[in-house]
Amino acid sequence: MENKVIECVPNFSEGRDPGIIKQITDVIESVDGIKLLDVDPGKDTNRTVVTFVGSPESVSEAAFLAVRKASEVIDMSKHYGEHPRMGATDVCPLVPVSGITMEETVVYARKLAERIGTELGIPVYCYENAAFEEKRRNLANCRKGEYEGLKLKLEDPEWKPDFGPAVFNSRSGATAVGARDFLVAFNVNLNTTSVRRANAIAYDVRENGRPKREGDQLTGRILKDKNGDPVMIPGSLKSVKAIGWYIQEYGVAQISMNLTNISVTPVHVAFDEVCRKADERGLRVTGSELVGLIPLKAMLDAGRYFLRKQQRSTGVADEELIKIAVKSLGLNDISIFKPEEKIIEFVMTGKGKKKLIELDLKAFMNETASESPAPGGGSVSAYMGALGMALGTMVANLSSHKKGWDDRWEEFSAWAEKGKIIQNELLALVDEDTEAFNRIMEAAGLPKRTEEEKSARINAIQTATKHATLIPFKVMETAFSGYEVISAMVEIGNPNSITDAAVGALAIRSCIKGAWLNVRINASGISDRIFVDDTLKKVGELLSKSDEKESEIIKIVEMKFNKKE
């Protein structure tokens, strides 16, 4: 069963005193099971965005301790900064990451909000998916008036806090606790210091847009609806909040955006739209800045987007896609963008034991040659398959960029993408095979003093061995799907690289045959004969099909050689 993991991204109203910030992050890290992913302070905004992940229970505890510590070390009556805010802990959203639904996350958010209000005496508003009423879904509504207007707001029955006293807390202000989808805080840099011009672009792009005016849209009277609310002209980007501001630290004006749903408006779309709107106003975008973390998929999607604009193949390594995204978005404009510190999946990986696929070629070879039984034939088979697919992908990329074939770049880019997916799956299986073997060894090391322990040990070994049998079977299936790409590249790819594709086919066949041997050896230790017979039948059929496919590909290559001769 998948573990439940949520993320918490509290924003604290202190960005200048490292000592205060560390006191808050120390209590977060004091909770077992918590991984602190990022701490991003801003001097001009006087605000720090902290990101951490863990189980719902551990995250809820760490968030409460952080809010309590912030209420002790931050005095809002003395706070000033560029960013809107209403409390020492201004916002505290919970974000479902894996194994948990938004509905479940809402329950945890409301429990956290109740605890903050009850135990700390801080007024709390629940926003986004945790909101109890529609008007409180929008954080901007909850924070309207900011800290300076909070005393008057709390006197309004319509803005009675969801939890905590409706009493002004001069030291801690109020806190908004929410449950939301993954939000990307993304700032775009301009070649101007004008906040007014930056705001004009922000109004152009943000979903809420700008107020409609009578006559002149700059100076005319703001039109209002029957409820007295301004009539708005929507902006061009959905699920985007934006304002313009000047950052003295950088000496530039920025469009500060919250992309509240990057499946609706991805980072690269927001960036390009700001570029267009800036150009219309005689300004130029110089780069951008990510505040906090970003999912790997968002960076890969951006890399593919910019490669497509160049009419280049998108079937390249993830590292290359990230590099293209960073360059195209100008993420190095203000400070060096470090993927290992800014991409959430990379940060979560941490500094544990290095994976096999992270070793260089020589180190992998030496590890294989060592007296350790793993990595063994299974991992090496998976790696051979990955190399075979890499050759097929290479031919697709070369074909996409071949002179005179410009009108076919998308065709070959699609083949390269397909090859890259299979290649990555096989790479992951390199480590999975070794991990499966290690699970057998762990099961074998279980105690066997009593009959009960012996029975549990035997069951654990059988379960681990079944798993270790299915991994090479998965290697076979994954590698076999690669023949489609190899066949296409032999038939229609760059003719100068036909032998590269053919070598890829040989590597895939070796991968499949090696994995087949591993299935057989692991299956010999399984007592469940139905499982064994069914598995061996399937792998035998797959092996025969693999031999046929490889033979077909080699025949095509030989036929093309004969035509040349």
- Asked if residue 132 lies in contact with residue 126, where contact means CB atoms within 8 angstroms, the answer is yes
Q: Which two tokens stand for residue 253?
A: 């004006």
Cα angle value 448/433/348 (rounded, 5°):
95
Going by DSSP bridges, is the β-strand pair 175-179/89-98 parallel, antiparallel, or unpaired? parallel
Q: What does the chain come to in residues?
A: 565
Question: At which residue do the structure tokens 């920025």 appear?
Answer: 254
**Residue 331 carries which DSSP code?**
T
Assess whether 268 carries a catalytic annotation: no
Q: By CB neighbour count within 10 A (0-12 exposed, 13-18 middle, 19+ buried), where does 357 fall?
A: middle
State the amino acid at position 237 in one-letter form.
L
The sign of the torsion formed by the CA atoms of 336, 339, 342, 347 equals: negative
Interatomic CA distance for residues 335 and 111, integer angstroms: 38
Going by DSSP bridges, is the β-strand pair 47-54/5-8 parallel, antiparallel, or unpaired? antiparallel
The sign of the torsion formed by the CA atoms of 152, 157, 158, 163 equals: positive
Assess whether 467 carries a catalytic annotation: no
Question: At which residue do the structure tokens 């020589």 appear?
Answer: 362
Cα angle value 291/137/42 (rounded, 5°):
20
Interatomic CA distance for residues 29 and 159, integer angstroms: 34
* Alpha carbon of residue 453 to chain centroid: 42
How many separate helices (H) and strands (E) can be counted in the chain?
18, 13
Catalytic residue among 83, 90, 204, 268: 83
Other CB atoms within 10 Å distance of the CB of residue 537: 10
Interatomic CA distance for residues 550 and 237, integer angstroms: 50
Q: By CB neighbour count within 10 A (0-12 exposed, 13-18 middle, 19+ buried), where does 361 fall?
A: exposed
Interatomic CA distance for residues 210 and 217, integer angstroms: 10
**Residue 224 carries which DSSP code?**
B
Report whether the peptide linkage leading into residue 375 is cis, meaning its omega lies within 30 degrees of zero: yes
Catalytic residue among 40, 204, 301, 433: 433
Burial pattern 438-456, b for ≥16 Cβ within 10 A else e, equals ebbeebeeeeeeeeeeeee
Radius of gyration over every alpha carbon of the chain, rounded to an integer in angstroms: 29
For 235, the 3-state DSSP assignment is coil
How far lies 302's CA from each of 225, 315, 431, 526, 530, in Å?
Answer: 39, 13, 28, 47, 48
The sign of the torsion formed by the CA atoms of 352, 357, 361, 367 equals: positive
Q: By CB neighbour count within 10 A (0-12 exposed, 13-18 middle, 19+ buried), where does 101 fall?
A: exposed
Q: Which residues are catalytic?
A: 83, 433
